[in-house]
Structure formats: structure tokens, C-alpha cells
Chains A and B, each alone.
Chain A
Amino acid sequence: MQQRFLDPTVLAGIAGLDLVAQTVVDGFIAGLHRSPDFGFSQEFAEYRAYNPGDDLRHVDWNVFARTEKAFLKRYRGETNCQLTILLDCSRSMRYTSHRIDKLEYARFLTASLCYLARLQRDAAGLVVFDDEVKNFVPPSTRQGQLARLLHAVEKAEVGTRTDYAKPFAHLREFLHRRGLIACISDFWEPPESVINTIAPLRFHGNEVVLFHVLDPEEIRPKLKQPVLLEDLESGETIEVSPDYASREYPAKIDAHLQELRSKAQGSGLDYFLIDTSRPLDAALREYLAVRRGRM
């Protein structure tokens, strides 16, 4: 099993996001033994007795052959699910303590989700944002949609600072259909601000998943000597001692993560923390296991 887990640094060596996504998704699909229960939509719900006037196309002829009674197959969703991925390209996403920075990891994650949606013939769209919407690919199931999405992901470059208010307000204008919204970001904002901005998407009947991408050094920084730290987005500098980084900072970041998780769950949002040092397929697998429990 372990050998299927793909190290992010190995993925970084693969040219082309489509190949990365295919490698990741095909790998864990094989691991799941093609379970029929996964996916975002088209789930089987129940059988109903045929009534005159019903569309004969939905009659289950196999059941009719066995029982000589006509039953209709009913599904939970009438249409395919619409997946919209919000990819944060702020400057803080450029941070890394090893080979893969957060943005690169988020790209792999986005590409994998897009590939997964295509396999299920779901409509997938993409919004790339920092303090404004940088790129928008409307959700669609058209031919070539995956290529467009991957191209947009490929072109996603770091911008300035993160501002959730503006792009999410913009997003509400485009998302008319209900669907699944995956927000991939490092969420370097106060949890209350993040949730207050993103939660309104939930009110439209959307299902929202927060992918919190963080570098391991952001969670447990390792300083050998006092250093001058510079904020990637604001440019502010501050001098930090190793003692502080090893004693007080972990407590604060843990409290932050806990608050973000609880506030997200309190607002009906799915929250998933991803460490960029973890294998990507393992992270996706864990996420889908959680999803399966809910659906």
C-alpha cells in the first residue's frame, strides 16, 4: 500500500499536470477497488413502482424480467454535480521549506480533483484568486474542459496578498447552480474572517470544502538562531528568537488551526488540513474516506 503514496517531490518531477493528476487519481482509485459508492453525484436512491405516464427509459428491465413487474430506478441527483475549485495564488502560497511550495502542491491537488471530476463526468470549474479573481474557468462538461482547467492551473502564478472578500463576492455572481465548492488556500487570516467570507456560499445550498494547505515549517518552525523574518505578503519584518519559535508559536498556530476547524464545522463547511510534506494521494484518500462517511 505504501508504495502507492506519491511523494510530492516525486510528483514535481513529472512534467505536465495532466500526467500528475492521472498518476495520483488512478493510483488511489485502484486502491479503492473501484468502489461504487464514491463520487459527487448520480448515486442510486431507490426503486419505485411504475405509474402510467412515467418515462419508459427509467424502467429497470432486468427487474421486470425477473418479477414481471415494472419498477423505475430513482437517483439522488437529477443532474451531474458541479465542482468549482477556488485556488488561492497569494504570495504566501510561494513559501516552502523543502522542494515543493504550497502553490505547487495546491496545483497538484487542483489537477487531481479536476481529473477525478472528469472521470465522473461532473462539471468542473476553476477560480484563481489572490486579492481579486485572476482567472475563471466556468464549470462545464464540454469536451476539452479538463485541458482548459489544467492550462489555467498551469498558468496560475503567485500574485499579491490574499483578500477573500472581493473574489468570493465575485464568485457569488457566477455560481447559480448548486454544487461542490473546494477552496484551496493557506488561510492566513483570522478564522472568523475566513469563515464569515466563505460561509455565505453554503447558504446557496453549496457544499463547501476547505483544503488548508500548510508547509510543515509553518506548523512547527525550526530556528537555530535568532533570525529576522519577513512577511511574504506585507513585507513586514520581525526578529524572532529560537526560543519563541519553539515554545510560544506552536501553541498559537495550534490554537489557530483548532479555531478554524471548529468554526468551519460550526458553519457546515468541511475542513481538511493538508501538510505539503505528505503524499498527495494519501491526503486525497483520507479526504474521500471522510466524504464517503457523510454521503
Chain B
Amino acid sequence: MGFFAPWFLAGLAAVGLPIWVHLLKRHKTDPKLFPSLMFFEQREQSSVRHRRLEYLLLFALRMAMIVLLALLFASPFIRRSASAVDGKRITVVAVDRSFSMRAGNRLAQAKDEALKVLGNLKPGDQAQVIALAGNVQALTQVVNDPAQLRAAVVAIQPSDSRASFGELARYLRTLADAQKMPLDVHLASDLQKSAMPPGFADLRVNPGTTLYFHPVGDPAPNWAVENVAAPRRVYDPKRVRMQATVAGYGTPAAKRTVTLALNGKTLQTKTVDVPANGRGQVEFLGLDAPYGFSRGEISIDSGDALAGDDHYFFSVERADPRKVLFVDDGRRPRAELYFRAALESSGDSGFQMETQRPESAAAATLSTYAFVVLSDLGNVPQALDSALQNYVRNGGSVFVALGPASAVLPRVPLLDEAIQASNYAGREGDRFLTVTDVDAGHPALRAVDRFSGVKFYQTVRVNPTKSRVLAKMNDQTPLVMERNIGEGKVLAFASTFDNVSNDLPLHASWVPFVAQAALYLGGGGAEQPVNLPVDSYVELRAADASNKNNRAAVEVLDPDGKRVFSLEEAVKATNFALDREGFFEIKTASGRRSLVAAHADRRESDLAQIPKETLDLWKGTGLIDAQGASGAAPGEESAAEKPWPLWPYLLLLLLGIAVAEAVVADRYLRPPVQERESVKREAA
């Protein structure tokens, strides 16, 4: 017997309370003075003795109530053998159908093992079949129908997901808690080491759960295309560079032929030397992709057992360079010059800059631009402002530069933050501001080298309340701010793009700053990556419920070209899980189309198995508590015990005693019958 909260036993000290009260009441029965007792007789003590009996009973009941209350809070339990519940156990047959089970005939072996286990079940034994992949899938309920269990095992198909034994352990804990019966778990798997969770504690199973491992397949050398670095969009086919990494797991050094294919057509073939148990890289230059989305694949000729990881899908889109609208009122010609130079000198950025005055920009079709730059416009015309607002809400991006013209504005355009003042610093005597805090992890500021050496002579002081500050000056005023509005985003720079308010355009960090910001902004707002591992989620709809596009239907076509969602689901679905390898055509609620390439998680390519010692430790987690309580020797799996809470019984007992106390106390305090009658007479 034990207690879940033994410190509540300190409440037993409260037992002293009724003792004190009752003793006090005894002392308080002061005798009443009377002139003479010559007409009273000693035998009348019997009535008082009767009262004392009741008194002691009441006292005992109250003591019992306090003791029970303290015990109730301490939550006592007894250890009962889990199998002692009704002597039955549930057999759980878990079949691994992860990507690695595609190697050779591993899945078939696992299914055979599972069927053997089911064949050993006795009539009436309860069992459940589950499949292990990215998550645990219960293929049957806990049933005792052998035919149903067998059919479930036979129907198991391989998947492209990654196995997770942590998920399996979590499921087993939940099942044991729900069924309140001990489990016999038979796991038919290749027991991949890479399927282990980061912490061993995540493998813990409940006491009474016995694990039986049925390993299938042997560790085998395996080559895989581990990674492909391909551009998302291609603007100039001749300037495209692609890198592919070929990894070997438990393999000797070897040469592998790497093939680049696009839309099923082989474009290039190269050979790479892969060292023993190592990695080799190969680079492809140029990608002659047609306009639109293309389905790319890099494959190797490995000839190993796991052929599924010998190819790697990627998606690429051929497009014309996207236009960037630079809105300038002409007062800062050098800002346009510097920005254009930086944009065009940043490799295959795919941007083409146009400059317009604010008045004409209002009439332009903003949705055709990758992003819009407002170069210290000051007052933004009403028409342009509302056009920009719509543009951003629908996924567009705006880069706002603030300078002397903006300092007179009450609020930053689009960003809607209050402008407090303009910070001025002289050019003499080091009277300038520098950047001290930079969020170097942000995509727009990843390569700016913390703006080192850049001097800011004038900045606009903004009070950010809704925006995220990405960089700060040494006087703690924000320099770069970002705010997501609708599906788009606004980036604000609290200085100008020329070399008047600062000397940033003259420093090395200028070009990467503009290039990274352009890539970040021109990426399409909430646009997501297109090359993802299986089991990743693709967002189909923004969480912003006020967006009018939120009710638009989404569309997902699986690698077979079939629609994934019904019409009803299409207007409600917010995301979608990539459940297998291949190309998914996706149209989000905002109307953006993309081709997403899903590839199996390459951790599945490592076929190394879990060491036996680790498996024994895992198996032991179901026996630790039972052994600790019963002193059973290790290995006596049937001795598993579990705590059995006693609070429901104590609560019932407490209720019964409370009722008895009320009855006894009522009898004790009730006036004699004669007195009640006299009271009635007086009342009458």
C-alpha cells in the first residue's frame, strides 16, 4: 500500500481537534447548584450514562471522518497485479510499414510474423492490429475475431512515411490506460535505429506491458540520394546550378551514376565517387526547363535492396523575371540607382525593376509585381494607399523606406505604426548612429553582416506596437521592422536607400541586404517551400478568418492526378499532409498554384538496427515498477503490478460516516419528547 500524495497525511494531526472539543465539552458540564438533593436518587445516573454513550459514538464518528478525509487527500493505493484484474491480456500486433520496409521483402516478412502471432492466439483472446508509419494507425478495434485480425494484417500496404517508436510507445501507454488491462505487444519491424526518439524516456510503456520484438530483414548497405539543392524558380536556364548529395549507409566506396531528369526526360548524367559509408556531391549546370511547373528527378543506379531512395523528386518553375515596382517621387534619384544596381547584381534573382511616380503607380496592376518599393514617398496618395492595402492582403509584399519626407507623417504607410520624430546626427565628430541588434536568422538579414561599419545620419523614429523589430540602432530605435498583413507582408526600413541619410549603399552589406530582402519579399508572401519530405504539412488557407479568400475552395491533386478533397472538404481544409512520395499539384485558397515534390525522409535510408541492449532496456520499462513493488526477479514479466487507487471506496465510506454522524448528532441534540410536547402545547 502506498500514497500518491503522502504529505496530506499531515492532516491526521487534525484528529486532535475533536479530541480537544469533546474533552472541553466534558469539562464544561459544570454542576448546577441546588439547595438540597434529598429528593433525588442516585439511580437516575443511568440517563446520563446513556447520553455519554451517544457522546462517545459521535466522537468516534467525527474522528473517523477526519482520518478518512486526510487519507482521501493522501490518495492511498494498493498494488495489484495487472493480470489479476481478470487474468486476461490484450495482444497488440504492430506491423512496421515505414519507407524502409520497402527494402527487399521486409514488409511481407513482417506480415508473416504478425500472422504467426495471431495464429497462436487462443479462442476468446482479445487482440488489436496496428500499423506503424508516420503515426500509429489502429487497423482494428480490440476484438477477438481472428478473421478480422488476419484480414487487417494482410491488407497492410507499405508507406513512404518514417517510423517512430516514440509514437508507438505513446499509443501503447494510451491504450493500456484506456483498457486497464496488461498488453502483450508484438512488434514486427526492421527495428531501425533512426526510428528511435531523441530521449529514451519517450519509449517508456506502462507497467504490465510486455514487448516482444520480431525483427525482419538484415542490415544491408544502402545508397540514397540524400539531398538536392534546386532553385524554386528558373528565370535563365543557363544560369541554373543544382547540387545533389549521394550518401552511403554501411556501404563500401563506390562510383555511382547520377542522372538528372526533367518531366521524364533525362537531361544530364554524371558520375560521383561515394566514399565508404560517406557522401559525395555532384553539380549540374543549366536546366532547360519549359515554362510552367516541371517535375524533376535525380536518381542513382545503386542496385541495393531499398530502391525507393535511389531517386529524389524536386519541383521547379520556369518563369520570366518578375517585375518589381519602385515607386519614387523623384526627389531621391540615387535611391533608385543604388537599389536597381543591387537588385541586378545579385545573380539569378529574377527581378526586373520598374520605376513609377506615385500618381501613375496607383493605376498600375499591382498584382503583376513581385513586390513594391516605396522610397520615402511622404504622403501616399489615397488611391495608391488603398491599392497597396489590397495588394498586401492578397499576398503581395511592400518594402517601405522612411526618410525626411516620411518624418512629417503621423504613421508609417501600410505598416500603420506611429512616427514619433526624426533622428538627426551630424557628419562630424562620429556623431552618427550604428546598428547594434540584428536578427541574423531572418531571411532578409541573413547575409548583411550586421550592417557593420554603416553609419546612419538620419533615421525616422517609429514606435512599433504591431510589428516585429528585426534590427535596432544603438539608441534602441528600430531600423528594420516587419509586419504580416493578410497573406502578405510589409518590410520597413527606417532610413533612405540613398547615401544621404546613411552610407549603407556604399558598404558591402548593401547588395546582400537588397537581394535577400527581394528574395524574401518576392517569394510570394506566405509562399511555402515546394520540396518537402513525406508527412510534412502544406498550408492551404491562412488562419486569418477575416480574409475574404478564406472561404475559397482549395485544390490538391495527388501524384496519381486524383483530387484529394471532396467539395465540402475543399472549402474547409486548412492544411494537407503529404502522405507519400511524388508530385502534388496544389492550389491554395488565395489562388496561388504550386507543384510540391514530396520525397521520403532520408533517415529511413539508414537501415542500421537498434542494438539488442537498447531493445532489452525498452522491454524492461514495462517491468520496472512491477519489480520494484513485488520484488520479483528480473524477467518475471507476469509479476507486473499497477497501483490500484482506493479513493472511491474511501469516499463512499466517508459519505456513510457523515450521514451516521448527522443522525447521531441530531439524536444527541434533540430535546426530550416531553419538552417537545410542551413546546407544541405552548405553540398551540
Contacts and interface: CB of A to CB of B under 8 A. Distances in A.
Q: Helix, strand, loop or mixed for chain A's interface? A: mixed
A230 B34 contact: yes
A227 B48 CA distance: 8
B672 A239 contact: no
Q: Which of B34, B41, B44 gathers the greatest number of chain A CB atoms within 10 Å? A: B34
A226 B42 contact: no
Contacts of B37: 229, 231, 234, 236, 238
Contacts of B36: 92, 188, 231-233
B668 to A, nearest CB: 10
Among A93, A188, A226, chain B packs the most CB atoms within 10 A around the CB of A226
A234 B675 CA distance: 31
Contacts of B29: 228
B592 interface: no
Interface in B216-248: none
A134 B32 CA distance: 28
A244 interface: yes
B360 interface: no
A224 B48 contact: no
6 contacts: A218-B34, A226-B48, A228-B29, A228-B30, A232-B36, A242-B675
Contacts of B672: 224-225, 242-243
A252 B39 CA distance: 7
Given A233-B36, A241-B47, 15 more contacts: A92-B36, A95-B33, A186-B35, A188-B36, A215-B35, A224-B671, A228-B32, A229-B32, A230-B33, A230-B34, A231-B36, A239-B45, A239-B47, A239-B48, A242-B675
B671 A188 contact: no
Given A241-B47, A243-B674, A228 B31 contact: yes
B194 to A, nearest CB: 83
Chain A interface size, as a band, is: 35 or more
B35 A241 contact: no
A249 interface: yes
A256 B39 CA distance: 9
Leading 5 A-B pairs by shortest Cβ distance:
A241-B47, A92-B35, A188-B36, A230-B31, A228-B31
Interface of A: 92-93, 95, 102, 186, 188, 190, 215, 218, 221, 224-234, 236-244, 246, 249, 252-253, 256
A188 B38 contact: yes
A186 B32 CA distance: 19
Nearest to B36: A188
B20 interface: no
Contacts of B38: 188, 190
Contacts of A249: 39-40
Contacts of A226: 47-48, 51
A264 B35 CA distance: 22
A233 to B, nearest CB: 7
Contacts of A252: 39
Contact of A95 (B35, B40, B41, B671): B35
Given A226-B51, A242-B675, A188 B44 contact: no
Contact of A238 (B44, B51, B675): B44
B35 A188 contact: yes
A240 B31 CA distance: 11
A230 B34 CA distance: 6
A229 B31 contact: yes
Contacts of A241: 44, 47-48
A172 B76 CA distance: 85
A281 to B, nearest CB: 25
Interface string B642-674: 000000000000000000000000000001101
B40 A229 contact: yes
A244 B34 contact: no
A232 B45 contact: no
A226 B35 CA distance: 18
Contacts of A228: 29-32, 48
Contacts of A238: 37, 40-42, 44-45
B609 to A, nearest CB: 85
B50 to A, nearest CB: 9
A253 B39 contact: yes
A223 to B, nearest CB: 9
A226 B47 CA distance: 7
Contacts of A92: 35-36
A246 B31 CA distance: 19
Contacts of B32: 227-230
B35 A218 contact: yes
Contacts of A232: 33-36
A53 B336 CA distance: 171
Contact of B44 (A186, A225, A240): A240
B30 to A, nearest CB: 8
A229 B37 CA distance: 8
B35 A240 contact: no
Nearest to B35: A92
A99 B475 CA distance: 90
A231 B44 CA distance: 16
A229 B34 contact: yes
Contacts of A253: 39
A252 B33 CA distance: 19
B55 to A, nearest CB: 11
B41 to A, nearest CB: 8
Nearest to A236: B37
Nearest to B674: A246
A217 to B, nearest CB: 8
A176 B30 CA distance: 49
B667 to A, nearest CB: 13
Contacts of B44: 238-241, 244
Interface in B40-71: 40-42, 44-45, 47-48, 51
A272 to B, nearest CB: 19
Contacts of A218: 34-35
A184 to B, nearest CB: 15
Nearest to B673: A243
Contact of A243 (B30, B33, B47): B47
B219 to A, nearest CB: 90
B31 A237 contact: yes
Nearest to B37: A231
Nearest to A218: B35
Nearest to A91: B35
Nearest to A186: B35
B40 A240 contact: yes
B152 to A, nearest CB: 76
Residue from A92, A224, A244, A256 having most chain B Cβ neighbours under 10 A:
A244
A77 to B, nearest CB: 38
A239 B48 CA distance: 7
Contacts of B674: 242-243, 246
A243 B33 CA distance: 18
A242 to B, nearest CB: 5
A238 B48 CA distance: 10
A229 B36 CA distance: 9
